[in-house]
Chains A and B, each alone.
Chain A
Amino acid sequence: MADAHKLEIFRGLVKFKSNTQKIWGVLIFLTIVTVIEVVLGIYKPEVLMGQVLGMKALNWIFIILTIVKAYYITWDFMHMRDEVKALRRMVVWTAIFLICYLIFILLQEGGYIESVYSSGFIKRDF
């Protein structure tokens, strides 16, 4: 029955012999990512403090690493990799679309209010 699991991660770069082995492999990967995050969070290297797209480069790295972790938790621990395409797309794209929409709306509005606070009462006179 274990044959039903897809045992490749990193697009086939690493292939495990059994599902159990894959689980431990993914754990090691997630641990490495978490350690990188914590070390960067404690030392905050000066190089990464520059602004990229309105946020510190370091923060972008944290967000990207988080999404990487989320991907492997969903795909390997929750076995999304083994589900049919239709179920996977229904769950993942619905969530991603709505979450992106929500984040865009709220952060845009928050930034606007901040700019009203910091640079005057009327920001855009329509």
Chain B
Amino acid sequence: MDTTVANTGTEGKTWGGGNQPLKSSYGKMMMWFFIVSDALTFSGFLAAYGFSRFKFIGSWPIADEVFTHVPFFHGNYPMIYVAFMTFVLIMSSVTMVLAVDAGHHMKKTKVTWYMFLTIIGGLIFVGSQAWEWGTFIKGEYGAVQTNGGNILQFGKYETVDGNAVFKRVAVSDIAIDAHGERVEHERKNGLWFVDESALPAYTVDEVYNGLKANSDVLVRTQIINDEGEKTVLSREESLNQIKNNGKLVVQGANLQVNEYGTSLFADFFFFITGFHGFHVFSGVVINIIIFFNVILGTYERRGSYEMVEKVGLYWHFVDLVWVFVFTFFYLV
């Protein structure tokens, strides 16, 4: 096909890619095969996520309750920001394909501008993902982890438009501070080779006392009931659970604990979106290299912008993966 002609000095060299049995240049074909193998890596991750989710189908966190933030706005806006991120990535895919198209017509200025917009889109996406990670790590309400590793969250019923709605309450709002119980172990005041991570802001006892003092606050468990919502315990059960099973006050999420529910959710979130974000980042770097090559006129001299097409394939693949990550992490 004449849209893919590239004169890169490989003509006639069989092992240099001189043959085109599939009417596609060696480089482009190899990019496709790389994409297939990378797609399998990502499906391995997503299928493993599906495995863990099916394993804990009755207690998996509900994504709508986890990702509710939008930068610069307060309030509860599930999905809005991640939809924006998806749109940014699709949009940068469009500018990329426009750059490829302009390359076919050998229009250097247009290719330059479209590549530039693609890079900007990629940077906005990576930045958004960093913000999303930050929000997730910081957490919002906090929770108590039980001996068995389950998460107990707090909230109370409020009347909204005549219906009783369960509203979350932050641990820091109810806990009664009892000072000076336990001091963080540091290297300078104990064994020099042992230290520990920062202590939680509150102890379980402080939370328990706070729960006792606030008679309308209830505990919500991880278990999903028939209506598809998390089970809220009665007042006595709430007090009993915290007293008997509470072990650690957790705030936010990391690889060990996760205030939103099972810690596997956080592990997979960091791993899969992190791996995808790494792809976006490397895509941006490769795009920048190609961008400068375009400006320097490398492809103009070569007589073909096929290189733009090859990185374009990679960039679209990153978008393609995000479409699936979006579905399986945020929608389903």
Contacts and interface: CB of A to CB of B under 8 A. Distances in A.
Interface of A: 1-2, 4-5, 19-20, 23-24, 27, 30-31, 34-35, 37-38, 41-42, 49, 59, 62-63, 65-66, 69-70, 73-74, 76-79, 82-84, 86-87, 90-91, 94-95, 98-99, 102-103, 105-107, 109-111, 113-114, 117-118
The main secondary structure of chain B at its interface with chain A is: helix
Interface residues of B, number: 60
B40 A27 contact: no
Contacts of B97: 23, 76-77
Contact of B104 (A2, A30, A107): A2
Given A62-B327, A95-B36, A110-B51, A73 B93 contact: yes
6 contacts: A59-B331, A62-B332, A78-B320, A86-B21, A87-B32, A107-B51
Interface in B151-199: none
Contacts, number: 147
A86 B29 CA distance: 11
A107 B46 CA distance: 11
Contacts of A87: 22-24, 29, 32
Given A27-B91, A70-B320, A94-B36, A34 B86 contact: yes
A4 B98 contact: no
Contacts of B98: 20, 23
Given A27-B94, A59-B332, A113-B55, A91 B32 contact: yes
B90 A49 contact: no
The main secondary structure of chain A at its interface with chain B is: helix
B39 interface: yes
B201 interface: no
A31 B313 CA distance: 20
